[in-house]
Amino acid sequence: MPHPSDLGTATSVRRPAWEVSPSWPLERLLFALAGTMTLLSVVLVATVSRWFLLLTAFVGINQWLYVTVGNCPASFVLQRFGIARRCSS
């Protein structure tokens, strides 16, 4: 049996950076989702059509909605999946 003073020295297993941890709070997931959608819209504007700039505008509007009101459509969906907030609004 290990000594109680040795319990805090065990190294933890690290997950790859691309694997989303269930301990990520809502705010971090929303930031990652917004960044991904913005980069996707830039690629689509460059390769498909300039109309994909509307996707960038939609992402920006939702970010401001979350900042001012405390919720956005994506936050409602993620909360339904059980993602907890770090900050209280």
Q: Phi, psi at residue 2, to the nearest 5°? A: -70, 155
State how far the alpha carbon of 4 is from the alpha carbons of 12, 35, 51, in Å. Answer: 17, 43, 61
Asked whether residue 22 carries a pLDDT value surpassing 90, the answer given is: no
Domain boundaries, the chain: 24-89
For the entire predicted model, the pTM comes to: 0.65
Name which residue leads in pLDDT, 72 or 4: 72
Percent of the chain with pLDDT over 70: 72
> What pLDDT is recorded for position 70?
83
pLDDT above 90: residue 88? no
- Across the range 8-33, mean pLDDT stands at 69
pLDDT of 7 higher than 70: no
Query: What confidence score (pLDDT) does residue 4 get?
Result: 55
45-63, pLDDT tens digit by residue? 999 999 999 999 999 999 9
